[in-house]
Amino acid sequence: MPARRFFLTGCASGIGRHLAEVLLAAGHEVFATDLDEAGLRTHAAANPRAWPVERVHLRRLDVTQAGAWQLVFAEAERVMGRVDVLINIAGYLLPGFVGDFDPESVHRHLDVNTKGVIFGTHTAARHMLARGDGHIINIASLAALAPIPGISLYSASKYAVRGFSLAAAQELRPRGVAVSVVCPDAVQTPMLDLQVGYKEAALTFSGSRILSVADVADAIVHRVLPRRPLELHLPRSRALLARLADLFPGTALWLRPILERRGLARQRKLAKHRG
């Protein structure tokens, strides 16, 4: 794959950090952003071989602010000459049952997960449409395919990401700008670590295995970037189950107790291991 210029969000940890390193190792130029700029810079400074200063640019970006998107993305276009690919990775999750979460949690999920992706896609599209070329990749979740009790706000925000991305693809693809949405199952990141202590998040841990950040990065590099699919689900087996629950919501009523028991058992095992 020829060298390209990437704009990434959520690069201080998890998928964003690993993907930035994979792209840099392959010779690409990366504009890496995160709300936690200090954490991002500290990690990059501690790993200079993985974060070569001549090909990586580190900036603070609050994805919930449309104005910040416009300023930082315009800077990336100036610094790198253009942005070939935008990858929206930044996300937020706090488990909670419907009767328990507070209004701030509602705002935070929708502001970061949904509005952040919409603002980023809108901003990148304006630049990419002007030259008739580009690729926007939005990270959703398998929780965008099947409603997940206990993390209903996260699920709702990711449903919105998927719906928006598929609609945007129909508008932008005929004009040369591809939009892909990636829906992974649970991934081993700080966001997953946070959920171990919440019984509300039991279903998150109900799969046969937890994906690694390398699994997601590999899928993006080898499947999404070259093929530009409308959407990609990881892994396919869990995606089929999610599709079933989405098509026939009643199945979730009898599947949930089975999956919940499995998830709780894995949570206890993980908690014991961490202790």
Residues belonging to the active site = 154
Over 9-58, what HEC string results?
CCCCCHHHHHHHHHHHHCCCEEEEEECCHHHHHHHHHHCCCCCCCCCEEE
* Cβ neighbours around 240 below 10 Å, total: 12
| Rounded Cα–Cα distance for residues 140 and 246 (Å) | 16
- Residue 266, classed as helix, strand or coil, is helix
Q: Side-chain half-sphere of 15: how many Cα atoms within 13 Å?
A: 31
> Are the beta carbons of 69 and 123 closer than 8 angstroms?
yes
Bond into 235 cis (ω within 30): yes
* DSSP 8-state code for residue 188: S
Q: Which H helix or E strand runs over 136?
A: strand 134-139
| Rounded Cα–Cα distance for residues 117 and 136 (Å) | 10
Q: Bridge-partner residues for 163, per DSSP? A: none
